[in-house]
Structure 1
């Protein structure tokens, strides 16, 4: 089964007052915590979409297990996260599913990523499934969308991203229960980042 990872890294970080994806956490940029975990997995492709040349340059030396990794420049980030989603899907090779990651959630565990992939592959309804991590009813990222949603992903607009599809297909959403809420923690503000610095990384 071919699952493609798409890492979304084009946000403006308006509330952070600086590029949060380049903020140093445990001696490396925030975005690299996500990328390092993703490239350890057996993805068909890894696609990184960003508006920032600094990020694309930073990750240019990254290599996935299969060695298939693409770096895509988002020239229209003002269109919202949907633009990054569409760019990632557009350049991907034909696959069975897409797994979307956000660059500002560094505590997602490598084991969780691996287990979600394994769970998705065993689902009877994987041709129509949407799989996301859940902690006590709260959903987060990363999310796996079956390839059947390709056209809907390409039709997204604005800054809601995959939430639009999840709301539209609630009956097809399957939750993967995680052990700790920290894995869903994402960084929006300096206060969030300060809180992150007080946490132990999960992996």
Structure 2
């Protein structure tokens, strides 16, 4: 199983700097914290970055992730497709993919582990955690969805795959509000 960290967004609402480089109270950046949470559970993990994100790429490499540059900056789906194509070359891809967002540093590793367990040990095809009834991240996909993930386009990420296979989606409730907490603006950091 392979972790995929999507870190190629534009951060337009956050301000002039890349939000993933913003330091959290723990002293690590938003992006590095998300990476560490993912790689703690999935030792083979890949991060996707923009071509001009060398500083972020370095942080993610130092966290232990393999870094892929997405040359198409037209949306999240292209980043996910680039990561999936790269991951397909690795033997661990036969176990499926856990897709996490780099602007969600508060997802606990045990939540990531639950998604991975339900995907592998319980043999579900698509796994989504929920918190108080709301769907969150990360999302797990069985390896059989690789070709669909590789063909994604636009800014919807993997939503189209989930919509096309609703009958194969397994949701489970977890006690982690972090699965819903993304950082898009400076205001999202208030109170941390």
Q: Is this a same-fold pair by TM over 0.5?
A: yes
Give the total of aligned pairs.
184
Q: 1:5 — aligned with what?
A: 3
Q: 1:14 — aligned with what?
A: 12
Match of 2:180 among 181, 184, 188: 184
Q: For residues 122 and 81 of structure 1, do their structure 2 counterparts lie closer, same or farther at Cα, with a shift above 3 Å needed?
A: same
Q: For residues 24 and 42 of structure 1, do their structure 2 counterparts lie closer, same or farther at Cα, with a shift above 3 Å needed?
A: closer
Q: 1:66 — aligned with what?
A: none
How far apart are the structure 2 equivalents of 1:159 and 1:9?
Answer: 13
Q: 1:107 — aligned with what?
A: 106
Secondary structure, aligned partner of 1:28 = coil
Residue 19 (structure 2) pairs with residue 38 (structure 1): no
Question: Under a length normalisation based on structure 2, what TM-score does the superposition of the two structures give?
Answer: 0.89
How large is the RMSD of aligned CA atoms in angstroms?
1.5
Question: Under a length normalisation based on structure 1, what TM-score does the superposition of the two structures give?
Answer: 0.85
- The CA deviation at 1:163 is 1.2
Structure 1 residue ranges, 4+ long, deviating more than 3 angstroms after superposition: none
- The CA deviation at 1:42 is 4.2
Structure with greater helix share of residues: 2
Task: Tell whether the 8 Å contact from 2:115 to 2:138 is kept in structure 1 after alignment.
Answer: no
Residues 17-53 of structure 1, C-alpha deviations (whole Å, 9 max, x = no match): 131101111211101111111222244x211110111
Residues 85-137 of structure 1, C-alpha deviations (whole Å, 9 max, x = no match): 0111111124220111100001101111122222222224x3xx100111122
